[in-house]
A = this chain, B = another copy of it.
Amino acid sequence: MGALDLDRLWNGDRRAIARAITSVENETPASEGLLRSVFVRTGRAYRIGITGPPGAGKSTITNKLASLYRAARKSVGIIAVDPTSPFSGGALLGDRVRMTDVDLDEEVFIRSMASRGSLGGLSRRTMEAVDVLDAAGKEVILMETVGVGQSELDIAGAADTTVVALVPESGDSIQAMKAGLMEIADVFVLNKADRAGADQAVMAIQMILNFRKHDGWMPDVVKTVASEGAGIDLLAARITEHRAYLERSGGLRLKRRARIEHRVRELIAARLKVDFWTPDRHAQLERRLDDLLELAVSPAQVADELVADFHRTHNGRG
């Protein structure tokens, strides 16, 4: 991107943001320099992760939260990496109508990103796109991701405040607990709280919370009916309280530190992979694959051979 485009990006221009994120997603030659410029402008946005099982209403909550922040004149960025999210094109066409509250608003930038092929639910690219939004002056960034498998750990690392959305349906809270969602929530949302079983579900979550240790911050449960906007103000208030707690306790700095450390580690792994997999070393592996198929050697032996070759080759370089 040229200097003019960069100026537009720092001013929050939608097309400049879109181009920058595309550049990052596609790892264009220019993206590395772009990311260096972006990084030194980060650290101002507040990052909120919204996760939970499919069907918990994460997109609706994200949408209504964005509307509320917009009403308070905050600029908002949304990154959706949920394969079932209408933001990211994964849901039914019918669900798309729910998004129109914010998606025509100039000050809300929405981007869906693929979760596939990444190291877990949120890829390095996704984190870099969030940085682009931060550098472009978005004050609040909402990250929506489905809470299954790896992604909930990623979002807890990527967010300042992690919101876990559940619904009253039987066993949902127990499943969430087992799937690790209970450990990462700073705020719980019991969405669709007008359905039967809502109060029992809230009680179940609170009972589980009471059995856990908390160091200063006690996650509690906000009841919402997000489709009608009910309870979203309470959710936003609770997020604000958590932010104040993090700022007071120094936790915000620790979270950012851990996030940056993780980023450096990921970059190093990517660089080592590029350095390692030269055409020559790839050919070496190809030659050994027949031996492997005939069970004449084990994968560990071949890995050892290639790593030894790597260290030999870098002898004298650096």
C-alpha gap A146/B35 in the complex (Å): 35
Total copies of this chain within the assembly? 2
| Contact with A116, one of B115, B180, B272 (Cβ below 8 angstroms) | B180
The verdict on A7 contacting chain B, using a C-beta distance below 8 Å, is no
Chain B residues with CB under 8 A of A91: 171, 175
Instruction: Kindly state whether residue A268 has any CB partner on chain B within 8 Å.
Output: yes
Q: Which residues of B contact A92 (CB under 8 A)?
A: 170-171, 174-175
Taking CB atoms and an 8 Å cut-off, the chain A residues in 1-57 that contact chain B are: 32, 35-36, 39-43, 53-54
Given contacts A315-B315, A318-B312, contact A148 B299 (CB under 8 A): no
Interface residues of A in 275-301 (CB under 8 A from B): 275-276, 285, 288-289, 292-293, 295, 298-301
Interface flag for A311 (CB, 8 Å):
yes
Contact of A150 among B150, B300, B318 (CB under 8 A): B150
What DSSP secondary structure best describes chain A's contact surface? helix
> A272 touching B150 by the CB < 8 A rule?
no
Question: A-side interface residues toward B, CB under 8 Å?
Answer: 32, 35-36, 39-43, 53-54, 83-84, 89-92, 115-121, 146, 148-151, 153, 170-171, 174-175, 178-180, 253, 256-257, 260-261, 263-265, 267-269, 271-273, 275-276, 285, 288-289, 292-293, 295, 298-304, 306-318
Further contacts, 4 of them, CB under 8 A, given A41-B295, A117-B150, A120-B150: A40-B295, A84-B148, A315-B318, A316-B316
